[in-house]
Amino acid sequence: MSGYAINMSSGALSLVNGSPFALPGRLLTVAGDPTGKFVYVATDDGFLSAFTIDSQAGSLTPVAG
């Protein structure tokens, strides 16, 4: 899975630090929490992965466990 940051002035996309991110299967869906601190990813083999979002850089860090 790849993460992108949006340049709000130009609309250009750039890969966030650490991207692409390894997943245990094929991506089915991505959802963010209302606070903007986490993103959740479901894969076709039944795994749910959670990542924290760095509010400054937009980078994602896997949540342990």
> How much is the pLDDT for 35?
93
Name the CA dihedral angle for 5, 57, 51, 13, rounded to a multiple of 10 degrees: 10
Indicate the pTM of the whole model: 0.67
> How much is the pLDDT for 2?
80
> How much is the pLDDT for 65?
76
- CA 4 to CA 30: how far, in whole Å? 13
> How much is the pLDDT for 10?
95
For 11-62, the pLDDT digits (tens) are 999 888 778 877 778 889 999 999 989 999 998 988 898 999 888 877 788 8
Nearest residue to 55 via CA among 33, 42, 34, 36: 36
What is Dmax (Cα atoms) for the chain?
39
Q: Is 6 helix (H, G, I), strand (E, B) or coil?
A: strand
> How much is the pLDDT for 19?
81
